[in-house]
Amino acid sequence: MRLSRALFIARKDIAYTLKDKTTLAWLILMPALFFYFIGTATGGFGGGGSDAPDNIAISVPADAGFLSGQLALRLSDSGFNVVTFAADNLEVPVSGGEQDVAFDGYCRRLVIPAGLTRSVQDGDGALLDYSTCTDELNAQFDEVRVQRAVYTTLADIIAASVAGGLNETNIAALNAIERVVTLEVRPAGKKREIPTGFQQAVPGTMVMFTLLVLLTSGAITLYLERTRGVLRRLASAPLSRGEIVFGKWMGKMFLAVIQIGIAMVMGSLLFKVNWQPDFLMIVALLLAWAGACTSFAIVLGSVGRTEGQVSGIGVLSSMLLGGLGGCWWPIEIAPAWMQQLASLLPTGWTMNGLHRLMSFEAGALSALPELMLLVATTAIAGIFAVKSFRFE
Amino acid sequence: MIVVNELRKQFGQLVAAEDVSFTAKAGQIFGLLGPNGAGKSTTINCIAGLLTPTSGTVSVKGHDVVSDPLGARRTLGVVPQELALYEDLSARENLRFWGGAYGLRGQQLEERVNTVLSQIGLQDRAGDKPENYSGGMKRRLNFGCGIVHQPDVLLLDEPTVGVDPQSRERLLERVRDQVARGACVLYTTHYMEEAEALCDQLVIMDHGKIIASGTMDELREMMGERDVLRVSGRFDGQAVRKAFDGMAGVEVLQVDADVVQLSAETATRRLPELLGALAESGADIQETTLARPNLESLFLLLTGKALRE
Ligand SMILES: Nc1ncnc2c1ncn2[C@@H]1O[C@H](COP(=O)(O)OP(=O)(O)O)[C@@H](O)[C@H]1O
Ligand SMILES: [Mg+2]
C-alpha cells in the first residue's frame, strides 16, 4: 500500500464531491440556517443560555431583619446574582442589577415577607414567595437552588439557636466557619445548566449534519462512481484495492472534517458557542464521530442499489439517529427511555460527550468512554466498509 | 506483449470463454471479432485484471495478471466497453484523473492531457462536461482516458459502438497512432468492416470459443477460391436448401425470408446455374451481388449465422 496513491484518490474524491453545488449548500448554508432556527427556537438569544446571568430579584421589607441578608448571601452562594429591592420601592434596586430594570423585569423573583426574622425568632413560620418565568426544566433547577439557599439559612438558624441564640452575631460567626456538609446542587460537572439555545443547537445540528452530509453526498458519489463504471475502470489501473478503499475513506473523512470545521467556526463567530475548556477533547470526539460517519457512508455507498435508495436511507437514518441521539433537543430533558436509547446510539454518545465537555465542564476525561465507543464504531464499521466495498 | 494461454472463464454454469489462446505482439493491432455474447469482453477483462480466470494463464509484458496484477496493470491502458467517465467533470478533469491514476503528475500530466485533447478533437470543448456531449464525443473521451499515460498495451473493448461515421474514422486513426508509436493494441469489435480495415491479426470468437484465427489473408484463404453471391428478394427457406442440396462446390451460407447468401467456387461462371436453381425453388429475385469473400461470409460459413445478429 502506497500512501501517495491513496492520497491521490482521496484528493480527487473530495474535489469531486465539492464540485456539487447541493453538497456545498448542505455543507455551509443549511447548517447555518438550522443553527439559527433551532437555536432561536430553543432560546438562543433569550434567557436560558448558559451565559445569561442568573439574576434573582428579592423584595425585602424594611422590617425583614438580618435573616433576609443571610438568605441573600446563601442565594449568591448558590450561584445567583442577587438584585435587592426594598419592598416599598420595587422600581429601583437597592443593590445589584441595573437601575432602570424594575423588580417585575426580572424572571426569578423572591418576595420576603414582612417581619421575617422576628417570625422565625418567635418560632412562627414564614412564607417565601418564589416565582420564575424560565421553562420547566430550568425552573425545576432554579427551584432546587433557591430551596438550597433557604435550607442553608434554616440550618444556620438551627445551628445559631443551639450555639446560644439566634442573633446576628452568632449567624455571622457561623458564616465564618467552613461547612462540614454542604449540599451541592448541580449535574455532574462544574456548570449546572442543561444546554439550551445555541450551545445545544450548534453542536447538535453539526453532529446530525456530519452524518447527513456523509450519508447523502458522501455515499451517493461513491454509488455514482460505482454504477457509472468509474470504480471498475479504476480497478484496472495500477492501484491496489487497499489504496482505493483507503483513499475513498480518507476523501470522505476529509468531507466530514470540512463540515465540522465550518460548523465550529460558524458556531463561534455567529452564535457565540463556547468550545472551551476542553477544546482538544472536543476535537478528538468529533474526529472519532467523523470517522464513524465516514465508515457508514462507504458501507451505504457500496451496498445501495439505486440512487434513491442511498439518499433515502441516508436522509432517514441521519434524521432518526439525530433525533433519537439528542441532536434536536438536549436528551437530558427527554423521558428516561429515550435517554437510555440515546446511550446506545453513536449520535447519543457524541452528544453526551459534547455536553459533558461543553456544558457540564466535567473535564476532558469525562468524555473518554464516548470517545472510545466512537473509535470502536469507526473501526468496526470500517471493517464492514472494506468488506462491502464493490467496484461494480 | 499479451500472451493468453488456454483461458477459461465460467460464470456459474455459463462458460463465457473456453480454451482461448493467442499472442498479440507490439506494433500490432490484434482483433477479437465476434457477435454479442461471444466472450470478447470476458477475455479482455481477464487480461485487464477485472475478472479472475477460472483456469488458464494470462500475462502482459511478462507479468502474470493473477500473481503480479500491479505489474501487469502498469503496462496497460484500458478502454472499457461501457463508458466509464465522470459525467459531471470536464473532459480535461477526466483526463487528468485517469492520467493521475496511472501515476502521471504535474507538468508531464498537463502536457499529456493537452496532447490527448487535441488528438481526440476535444480541445475546444475541454472545459465542457461529458453530460453535454454527443455519443461520439463521449466515446472519444472514453478512449482518450485510456491513452493519457501512453500505455505499452492498449485494451479497447468495442470503442466505436454507437459512434457516428466521422467520429469512428477519427477514432480508428488514433488507434493506428498508438500502434505507430509501438504499442500493442487488442481491439474487440462486432463490426467486421472495422476488423478488416484495422487489424493485422485476428481471432474470431463465438460462444466463448475461438473459431478461426490468423492474419486477414490467412482468414480469406480459409474461404478458398470462393465468391459470395448475395441475393435479396423473397424466398422459401426449405425449398432453397433443397435446390442446392448436393450441388458440387456450393454452400448455402444464409437463408432468410428476404436474403440468401451462397458461397461457390468460380461463381462468376456459374451465375446462370445458381440463379436458375433459385428461381426454380420459387424465389422472387430482386437484386444480386457477387463479392469477394469477407469476414462476414467466413463467419457465416463457420457458424451458419450472420455476425450482426
Ligand atoms: N458478470 C457476468 N456474470 C454472468 N454472466 C456473464 C457476465 N459477464 C458476461 N456474462 C456472459 O458471458 C457471455 C459472454 O459475454 P461477453 O464476454 O460480455 O460477450 P461479448 O463482449 O463478446 O459481447 C454472455 O453470455 C454473457 O451473458
Ligand atoms: Mg462485450
Percent of chain B at pLDDT > 70 equals 99
Q: Is B85 on the interface with A (CB under 8 A)?
A: yes
Banded model confidence at residue A184, pLDDT cuts 50, 70, 90: very low
| pLDDT beyond 50 at A147 | yes
Q: How confident is the model at residue A51 (pLDDT cuts 50, 70, 90)?
A: very low
pLDDT at A53: 58
pLDDT at A45: 44
The Cα A229–Cα A226 span in angstroms is 5
Cell 487489424 appears where?
B199
Gap between the Cα atoms of B103 and B80, Å rounded: 20
Give mean pLDDT, residues A37-42.
78
pLDDT on residue A249: 97
Distances (CA, A) of A354 to A197, A207, A357: 15, 10, 5
Q: Are B69 and A239 in contact (CB under 8 A)?
A: no
**Burial classification of residue A75, based on how many CB atoms lie within 10 Å of its CB (0-12 exposed, 13-18 middle, 19 or more buried):** buried
Quick check: A12 and B100 CB within 8 A? yes
Q: What is the mean pLDDT of chain B?
A: 91
DSSP one-letter string for B66-85: TTSHHHHHHTEEEE-SS---
Closest CA to A212 of A247, A246, A250, A263: A263
At A2-11, the pLDDT tens digits run 899 999 999 9
The beta-carbon neighbor of B50 closest among A228, A236, A239 is: A236
Confidence of residue A165 (pLDDT cuts 50, 70, 90): confident
The whole-angstrom separation of Cα B140 and Cα B159 is: 8
Contact B97 A228 (CB under 8 A): no
Residue A283 CB burial class (10 angstroms; 0-12, 13-18, ≥19): middle
Cell 474470431 sits on residue: B204
Length of chain A: 392
B274-292: pLDDT as tens digits = 888 888 888 888 998 888 7
Q: If pLDDT is split at 50, 70 and 90, which confidence band does A169 have?
A: confident
- On the question of pLDDT at A181 being above 60, the answer is no
Per-residue pLDDT at B269 exceeds 80: yes
Give the pLDDT band of residue A289 (cuts 50, 70, 90): very high
A228 close contact with B: CB closer than 8 A: yes
In sequence order, the β-bridge partners of residue B58 are B4
Contact with chain A for residue B139, Cβ under 8 A: no
- A81-90: per-residue pLDDT in tens? 889 999 998 8
Q: Is A390 on the interface with B (CB under 8 A)?
A: no
In this structure, what C-alpha cell is assigned to residue A364? 476532558
Residues pairing with B213 in the sheet: B203
Residue A49 confidence class, pLDDT cut points 50, 70, 90 = very low
pLDDT of residue A12: 95
Is residue A187 scored above 50 in pLDDT? no
**Half-sphere exposure (CA, 13 Å, Cβ side) for A245?**
18
C-beta atoms of A239 and B86 within 8 A: no
**In this predicted model, what pLDDT tens digit does every residue of B183-202 receive, in sequence order?**
999 999 998 889 988 999 99
In angstroms, rounded to a whole number, what is the distance separating the alpha carbons of residues A5 and A342?
39
In contact, B94 and B130? CB cutoff 8 Å: yes
Task: Kindly provide the b/e burial profile for residues A124-135, where b requires at least 16 CB atoms within 10 angstroms of the residue's own CB.
Answer: eebebebebebe
Q: Which ipTM did the prediction report?
A: 0.86
Contact A152, A77 (CB under 8 A): yes
Lowest-pLDDT range, A6-10, A183-187, A196-200, B185-189?
A183-187
- The Cα of B34 is separated from the nearest Cα of chain A by a number of Å equal to 23
Cβ neighbours of residue B205 under 8 Å, at least 6 residues apart? B20, B32, B33, B34, B38, B39, B40, B43, B211
The model's confidence at residue B72, banded by pLDDT at 50, 70 and 90, is: very high
CA separation for the pair A37, A42 (Å, rounded): 8
Q: How far is the CA of A390 from the centre of ligand 1 (A)?
A: 19
Quote the DSSP letter at residue B37. T
Q: How far is CA A389 from CA A219, A298, A370, B185, B214, in A?
A: 12, 7, 27, 31, 42
- Contact list in A for residue B97 (CB cut-off 8 A) is 12
Comparing CB atoms, the residue among A8, A229, A391 nearest residue B83 is A229
Asked if residue A178 has pLDDT above 80, the reply is no
Unique residue bearing C-alpha cell 463521449: B138
Whether residue A43 has pLDDT greater than 70: no
Give the nearest partner residue to B101 out of A16, A228, A239, using CB atoms.
Answer: A239
Tens-digit pLDDT profile for residues B38-66: 999 999 999 999 999 999 999 999 999 99
The better pLDDT of the pair B74, B306 is held by B74
- A55 or A288: whose pLDDT is higher? A288
The dihedral through the CA atoms of B196, B201, B206, B212 has a sign that is positive
Q: How far is CA A168 from the centre of its chain?
A: 43
Mean of per-residue pLDDT scores for chain A: 85
Q: With 60 as the cut, is the pLDDT of residue B7 above it?
A: yes
pLDDT of residue B46: 96
| A28 burial level (CB within 10 Å; 0-12, 13-18, 19+) | middle
Q: Is the pTM of the predicted complex or chain greater than 0.90?
A: no
Ordered domains of chain B (ranges, CATH) = 2-219 (3.40.50.300), 224-292 (3.30.70.1150)
**What residue owns the CA closest to ligand 1's atom 20?**
B37
- pLDDT, position B29: 96
Mutate which of A224, A233, A244, A307 to test chain B, going by most B C-beta atoms within 10 A? A233
* Mean pLDDT, residues A348-355: 93
* Most confidently modeled range among A33-37, A106-110, A300-304: A300-304
E-state strands within B39-183: 55-60, 63-64, 76-79, 153-157
Residue type for position B178: Q
Domains of chain A: 3-45+196-388 (no CATH), 55-176 (3.40.1710)
Which of A17-21, A168-172, A362-366 has the lowest average pLDDT?
A168-172
- Choose from A19-33, A118-132, B245-259 the range with maximum mean pLDDT: A19-33
Between A145 and B212, where is the model more confident? B212
**The pLDDT of residue A166 is above 80:** no
Rounded to the nearest 10 degrees, the angle between the axes of helix A241-271 and helix A368-388 is 140
Is pLDDT above 70 for A390?
yes
* pLDDT tens per residue, range B214-236: 998 888 887 777 788 889 999 88
The tens digit of pLDDT for each residue in B107-130 reads 999 999 999 999 999 999 999 999
What is the band of A65 on the pLDDT scale with cuts at 50, 70, 90? confident
Q: What is the mean pLDDT of residues A122-146?
A: 76
User: Measuring CA to CA, which residue among B48, B72, B59 is closest to residue B5?
Assistant: B59
CB contact at 8 A, A345 and A327: no
**Is residue A176 predicted with pLDDT exceeding 80?**
no
Sheet bearing A129-131, strands edge to edge: A81-86, A55-60, A108-111, A129-131
